Chain A
Amino acid sequence: MAKKNWLKMGALMVFAVCGISMYEVAQAQKQDPKHPPVAGDGSLVVQLCDGKTNVTVPGVDPNTRLTKEQAQAVSSELMKLWMTKQDPAVAARWMSEASRSAAAEEKKPEPASGQTGNQAQEQVTPVSPRDFMIWDREVAREVAYGDQIFHDDKLIGSTNGIACAMCHPNASNTHPETYPKFQVQLQKVALLRDMINWCIEQPTRGKRLDADDPKMRALEAYILSQRKGVPMAPGKH
């Protein structure tokens, strides 16, 4: 399997280059969403999704619900703070994306393209090729685990010897791009994981997986990866 060899090679190279980043990944995973930071005086602290940028709302109890106006003010403040820490190019890209979606209805004319001048050849970003390698490797690892489960009746918890790949070689006919869609027999709009669970319980006679079970996540990763590039078509039957 050429793909597998490639994965192995990639993993080795990345391992050699990126010891430090692996440490970073581990640190990020240690963030505990159940225990958000609290200010020294007990005021509410709101943290940005980067896990680093905080805004304290003085005198407000952490358990209060902010008004819409307060919430907007805090959000804007957080973004402003975050911008100051970003490379100007990243900040600019963020601004343009945010304004594009916020002002989509206004239909602003696009800035004239093809401008000439002494611009830098490439925009500076904090994302290095090394980062991409790490991300790819992490995804590949998740997909490989899913691949393994999908092909192994024991790993999927089958009680009758049947594995997913027996009916879905290369995850064919799983059509993840058609979800969400209404499934009469489930009497609801199903997500990919609902159909995975259906197939676990029915053909393979196993036990359904929790939505957040590592095996469910890996199965989703594998199934989705096999359909990379196929246009999304939610609701399609």
Chain B
Amino acid sequence: MNPLKWIKRREEYLRERKLWMDELMSAGRAEEGRRKFMKMAAQALGVAAAGKIVPHAFQPVEVVQASKTQASMIEPFTFAYISDSHLYEKTLNERFVRQLERAVADVNALDPQPDFVLYGGDLAQLGQPGELRLGHQILKELKAPVRMMVGEHDWFLDMGDLWKELFGPPNYSFDHKGMHFITLMSVNEKDFWTDKGLTPMQRMQIVAGLDDGRQSRFEVGDEGREWLKRDLARVPRTTPVVVFSHSPLYKYYRDWNFWTEDAEQVQALLGDHESVTVIHGHTHQVLTHRVGKIHFHGMLSTAWPWPYAPEGLPRLTVQMNRPDPFNQTDGLGDGTLRVKKTGRVDKHYNLWNRNPMIVSERYLTSNGAEDVPAKITLPSY
């Protein structure tokens, strides 16, 4: 071979390799990426060394194709969730503490263990250091790794300072078994406190009041959406995406902030991807929705159930029965998400005093025609 030609080829090879490597590494999927890269690079190099194909095979476009197979090669797995524990300090309210401990025990009893546990936000009731630290301590008892998400009750006393110190940044993403997971801070509110000269505690109290109209509506906000855009840009369209968000990322009921003000913009960003599933907290009820390719599931609370809002309930939601006021843990629970080969999930609601409810991938993809969850006997009114 002409040495000059070889050098040129080698340069081209290195440039392409770097591009491809960046593509893999920069998505914040260092572990997965590195492993996959090493494997594929080794293969390709081996092949190249054997003279069968040239290093041109390292092209970014190949990555996209590789991930197409990746989508159908998802390795099914399960992760669990616990959400909305709203802890007070133990001396003030032991019941909510016991209920979170019950959920932790539920998850620790799962056999096999889930790959990880999503904590869905609102760990604390009023963002107090004592509350957050207590929650931090209790969640340490979980055997599986924990993925934390922030809720408005954790945030609005010190605007997230302690939460971040304990749990890290509120926006982050990771890859797991061929899927891309994004945790999104979606309970930002436009400043309603400075002009009114409110103290941090007053601000917290107002946000903690679901029907307190003095607060603003939840939003991901400009910065959050910019972050999301950058994160998604690195993920092939064919890679199934799961988003963890405290607010629902759609508009259900404005007066109670069952609502994300910039939902349409966020959905538009997500809409480029072929499979997106949103798992949200905050609403303390069984909740199911679908907007185009995006599936939405609510999570149960361990503290108290919330009534269905008087309007705006998504059509696909099969409600959970009205909780029994004489049973303090009714309508509460935790649950699991079973990731399927398709990268979609079956959502299992583990209601403490009821039969479990399963809202399956099939129910959602068939638009509510198949595998319909059992209907309620006590309609909300």
Contacts and interface: CB of A to CB of B under 8 A. Distances in A.
A78 to B, nearest CB: 43
Nearest to B331: A167
B378 interface: yes
Interface residues of B, number: 26
B304 A173 contact: no
Interface in B191-224: 209-214
Interface of B is mostly: loop
Given A160-B92, A167-B304, A175 B381 contact: yes
A175 B379 CA distance: 12
A195 B325 contact: yes
Given A160-B93, A175-B381, A170 B255 contact: yes
B157 to A, nearest CB: 15
B88 A166 contact: no
Interface string B303-332: 011110110000000000010011010000
B322 A173 contact: yes
Interface string B86-101: 0010001101000000
B256 interface: yes
A199 interface: yes
Interface residues of A, number: 22
A198 B211 CA distance: 23
B337 to A, nearest CB: 26
A167 B305 contact: yes
Interface string B281-318: 00000000000000000000000111101100000000
Nearest to A167: B304
B301 to A, nearest CB: 10
B287 to A, nearest CB: 16
A107 B211 CA distance: 49
Interface in A97-131: none
A57 to B, nearest CB: 50
Contact of A167 (B88, B255, B256, B306): B306
Contact of B325 (A162, A165, A169, A198): A198
B210 A169 contact: yes
29 contacts: A1-B213, A151-B209, A151-B212, A160-B88, A160-B92, A160-B93, A161-B88, A161-B93, A162-B93, A165-B209, A165-B211, A166-B210, A166-B304, A167-B305, A167-B306, A167-B307, A169-B211, A169-B256, A170-B256, A172-B310, A185-B326, A195-B325, A198-B325, A199-B325, A202-B325, A202-B326, A202-B328, A203-B304, A203-B328
Interface of B: 88, 92-93, 95, 125, 209-214, 255-256, 304-307, 309-310, 322, 325-326, 328, 378, 380-381
Interface of A: 1, 151, 160-162, 165-170, 172-173, 175, 183, 185, 195, 198-199, 202-203, 237
